[in-house]
Every structure is written in C-alpha cells, then in structure tokens.
C-alpha cells in the first residue's frame, strides 16, 4: 500500500470533523482539470524527485478499519495528494496570475501571498503576479481600484505585518463583471484567499468561466480565524489566535485573583464555532467557564450560569469566564435579525451583555463582586502569524501554485490526515465545521474547567 494512504495520528480538530461525516458517499473528491498537462515542469531541471501524481491519494478516514477495507476491496474515499507535478498545463512563460483576499482579517494572509509570489517566481519563473485590491470589488470597474504588481521585492517583508497588503472587503459582486475583468487582464490563474463566503463566490466564478468555455484556473486557500471550514483539519491563523487568546486569559486570571470576588471575563472570536475558546481553555487550564455557540446554556435556575458563577465565587473568591462571540445569542439578538454585506447574521454583543448581567445579579443578591472585561478580538485577528502558522501558510501557498500550474481548478488546498490535499470547493461549502460536544476534545475542555452542563434540564 502506498505511503500516501497512511497517516499520522489524527489531530483533535480533524477527529471532530471526521465524526461528523456520516456518509463518505456524500463527498465528491474529483478534482477538475482544464486539460492535459503536457509541458515539462521547470522543476525537473533541478533534478527534483518529489513529484507526485494524481494517483497518489490520502484516505478520507485514516483508521485501521478504513485501511483494511481498502486493502480488502481496493475501494475507499480519498483526496488527491497535493504537490508538484512533473508536467504542467500552463506554460510558465505565458502565464499571468492574480491574487485576491476577501472577508475578515486573519494572521498569516500576507504569508500566503508571499509564498504564492515566491513559488511562482523561484519555482516556475513567473516574475510577478497581479494583486487585486480590496477583495472582489477590485475587479469591478466602477470602484476604480488600481491593481498591485506583486514581485519578490514587493513581498519581501510583508510577512512581518498583520492584515493583508491587498486589503479586503465583504459583499457580493457581479460574477459576470469579475470574469469580464479577468478576460481583459489576460488572467490565467486566480488565487482566492478567504472563507465560506469567498468559496461560494469562487464556485460561482468557476461556473461562469465554464459557461464561457474559458481556460482559467480557480484555486482557493482556506482562511478563517474561527477554524470553521469543512474538510480542513485546521485553518491558518488559528494557532496564532489561540496564542493571543491565552495572553488575554492570563491577564484576566491575574485580575481575578487580585481582588475579592472578582470575575475575569474574556470574549474571543467564534461566530458559529467555538474552536478558539475551547482550544485556549484546553491549553491554559485557567478558565472556569467556557461558553461556545455549540453548547447552549441557561442563565437562570439552579444549574444556570449565574448560580454556577455565584457558587464558584463563594468557594474560591474568583472566576475566569471565556465566551465565544457567537455563544448565547438567544439572549442578545431578540426577534430582529440583520445581516452584513456578505449575508452573515450580525451578532449581538454577548460579552457586554454578560458583564452587565453579572453586575445586576450580584447587586440584586447583595453580594460584593468586581468584574474585569477584556475583548481582544481585533488584536487577535490583526497580529502577524506565529512561527507555526507561518510555516503552514508557506506550504499552503506553495501547494496552491503547484495545483494551479498543473491546470487543476475549482479546488481548495487543505491539510487532511497530516497531508496536503486537493478538495473540491463545492464540497467545502456544504456545511460548517463546529466543535463536536460529544467528542473527546470537548470532554477535555470540561475536565479542564469543571463546569457543569449549565442547563436546568
């Protein structure tokens, strides 16, 4: 059996998502190509021996049962292994590439941009790429946004800074106008760095390209600080976000133990998925209550949050509470739902709500209480990536270029079962990855905090 079918131990984020894949047949792992790859890769001139083929696969489920099934039947759902191909579809001397970043900021975006540009240049001899400014609106003529030439010199130091040198934006743009602009600019490859909304736009753009019978490749790199993209073990920037969240928790803990009956309350990002809050809690183990969107909680009642925090203060005289921004939305959104430019539901501020609710509750019962509220959200997403995420971003960018030059399209570069793989974009948008509250990972969080279910029934 080829080594590509084997895997290192499954990391927690991946084990959660694998548990949610009830039926492997629902996932189509076929990667589209623009045509036959017949051009010899310039990497061959360096006596490269690390080329991979489309027959190199990575099992969807890395378990002994899955491997045994494959050995017995020769059948198993698997992803195409990422990496350089010996033959290319695009001629490097005649290829023009574009890079666009969309959605919210995340540590590591500049690292991905830099990796793509350097791989294009040093690996394939493509001297520059075109940077599209402020997301997909950069393609739309009415915005009058200039492009940015991305050369190795232009990206030399960008990894030292947070954010994205290209700028970003939210909101839908006319797909026809985007493809019109790509045709006018002679773009052969578009690299899209973004999350769920960006991927949905990528699917629409690819459909328009296919409708016009154009030979343009669309390759995406998954970006979301919340780590909620389906069929990705862990998104870039997540490790940095957890590290920054831990810094905030340490400050909250110091404040909490520094005064009698003091609550340190920290809010972190996580609209629909509480991976940052859960991972930081698991890593630091100074949090007493971890509140995430996937685990509902009651405020009132004998087992509700208010009583639980009261008991904690009476026993230990301090408490640290970590809440993801999407937790407890039933208490803050009301009946009216509004959406942002990308169609995402606008969240109520659960952090401020809990701060004020705790103040009112302890005043009502006549118990002295001090609360320190910390909201590091924009600090977390705007910092440069840490070393782990930088290495991860470098590999994502490199594999995105290898896939695109081979003429592959409509794919997301993912990390799965400790390998870099190609995943069809349309599969990645089928659902959202969330913390599995029946998993060993969430049990570890509960073991670290000692919190109850915070539900009365």
Euclidean distance between CA atoms 62 and 22, whole angstroms: 15
| Structure letter (DSSP) for residue 122 | I
> Which pLDDT does position 6 carry in this prediction?
45
C-beta neighbour count of 96 within 10 angstroms:
15
pLDDT tens sequence across 316-358: 999 999 999 999 999 998 766 676 665 667 889 999 999 999 9
Residue 456 covered by a domain: no
What would the mean pLDDT of 215-222 be, rounded to a whole number?
98
Query: Is 65's pLDDT higher than 80?
Result: no
* 253 contacts 363 by C-beta, under 8 angstroms: no
> Residue 53 above 80 pLDDT?
yes
**Residue 457 pLDDT more than 90?**
no
pTM to 2 decimals?
A: 0.91
Question: In terms of residue numbers, what domain contains 24?
Answer: 3-235+385-428
Tokens standing for 278? 């859960």
Confirm whether 443 is domain-assigned. no
Q: Which of 382, 412, 447 is the last residue of a domain?
A: 382
The predicted-structure confidence for 287-304, as pLDDT tens digits, reads as follows: 999 999 999 999 999 999
191 with 72, same domain: the answer is yes
Same domain flag for 228 and 263? no
Calculate the alpha carbon distances from 59 to 64, 314, 419 in Å. Answer: 11, 51, 10
Judge whether residue 13 has pLDDT over 60: no
- pLDDT value, residue 128: 84
Provide the pLDDT confidence category of residue 170 given band limits of 50, 70 and 90: confident
- Catalytic annotation, residues: 226
CB 396 within 8 A of CB 113: no
What are residue 413's DSSP bridge partners? 422
Shared domain check, 175 and 33: yes
Could you give the percent of the chain with pLDDT greater than 70?
89
Number of domains in the chain: 2
Do 99 and 214 lie in a common domain? yes
> Does residue 60 or residue 387 have the better pLDDT?
387
- One domain for residues 397 and 334: no
- Note whether 18 and 55 are same-domain residues: yes
| Residue spans of alpha helices (H) in 53-195 | 64-73, 109-118, 124, 175-184
CATH number of the domain encompassing residue 25: 3.40.50.450
- Are 293 and 353 in a shared domain? yes
- Which CATH number characterizes residue 371's domain? 3.40.50.460
Q: Are 333 and 402 within one domain?
A: no
Residues 173, 44 share a domain: yes
Per-residue pLDDT at 5: 47
Place of tokens 């004020």: 356
Asked if 219 and 311 sit in the same domain, the reply is no
- Answer yes or no: is 216 within a domain: yes
Residue 25 has pLDDT above 70, yes or no: no
Residue 171's pLDDT band, with cuts at 50, 70 and 90, is confident
What is each CA distance from 214 to 97, 158, 202, 410, in whole angstroms? 15, 33, 15, 13
Distance of CA 11 to the CA centre of its chain: 15
């Amino acid at each position: 059996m080829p080594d590509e079918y084997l895997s290192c131990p499954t990391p927690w984020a991946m084990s959660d998502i694998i548990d949610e894949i009830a039926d492997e047949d629902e996932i189509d792992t076929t990667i589209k190509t623009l045509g036959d790859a017949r051009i010899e890769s310039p990497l061959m001139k360096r006596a490269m021996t690390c080329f991979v083929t489309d027959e190199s696969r990575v099992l969807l489920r890395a378990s002994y049962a899955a491997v045994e099934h494959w050995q017995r039947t020769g059948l198993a759902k698997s992803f195409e292994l990422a990496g350089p191909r010996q033959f290319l579809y695009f001629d490097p001397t005649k290829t023009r590439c574009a890079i666009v970043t969309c959605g919210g900021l995340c540590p590591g975006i500049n690292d991905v941009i830099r990796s793509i540009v350097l791989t294009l240049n040093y690996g394939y001899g493509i001297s520059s790429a075109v940077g599209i400014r402020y997301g997909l609106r950069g393609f739309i003529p009415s915005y009058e946004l200039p492009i940015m030439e991305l050369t190795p010199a232009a990206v030399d130091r960008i990894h030292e800074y947070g954010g994205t040198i290209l700028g970003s934006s939210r909101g839908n743009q006319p797909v026809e106008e985007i493809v019109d602009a790509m045709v006018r600019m002679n773009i052969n490859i578009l690299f899209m760095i973004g999350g769920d909304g960006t991927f949905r736009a990528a699917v629409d753009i690819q459909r328009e390209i296919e409708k016009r019978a154009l030979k343009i490749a669309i390759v995406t790199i998954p970006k979301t600080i919340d780590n909620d993209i389906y069929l990705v073990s862990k998104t870039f920037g997540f490790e940095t976000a957890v590290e920054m969240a831990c810094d905030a928790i340490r400050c909250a803990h110091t404040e909490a133990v520094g005064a009698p009956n003091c609550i340190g309350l920290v809010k972190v990002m996580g609209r629909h998925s509480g991976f940052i809050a859960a991972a930081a809690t698991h890593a630091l183990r100074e949090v007493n209550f971890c509140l995430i969107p996937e685990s509902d909680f009651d405020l009132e009642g004998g087992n509700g949050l208010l009583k639980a925090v009261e008991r904690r203060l009476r026993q230990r005289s301090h408490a640290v509470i970590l809440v993801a921004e999407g937790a407890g939305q039933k208490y803050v959104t009301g009946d009216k739902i509004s959406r942002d430019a990308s169609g995402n539901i606008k969240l109520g501020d659960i952090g401020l709500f809990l701060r004020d609710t705790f103040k009112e509750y302890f005043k009502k019962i006549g118990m002295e209480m001090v609360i320190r509220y910390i909201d590091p959200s924009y600090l977390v997403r705007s910092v440069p990536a840490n070393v782990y995420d930088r290495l991860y971003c470098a590999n994502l960018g490199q594999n995105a270029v290898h896939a695109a030059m081979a003429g592959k399209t409509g794919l997301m570069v993912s990390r799965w079962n400790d390998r870099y793989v190609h995943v069809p974009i349309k599969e990645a948008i089928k659902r959202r990855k969330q913390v599995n509250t029946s998993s060993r990972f969430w049990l570890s969080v509960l073991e670290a905090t000692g919190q109850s279910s915070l539900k009365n029934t």
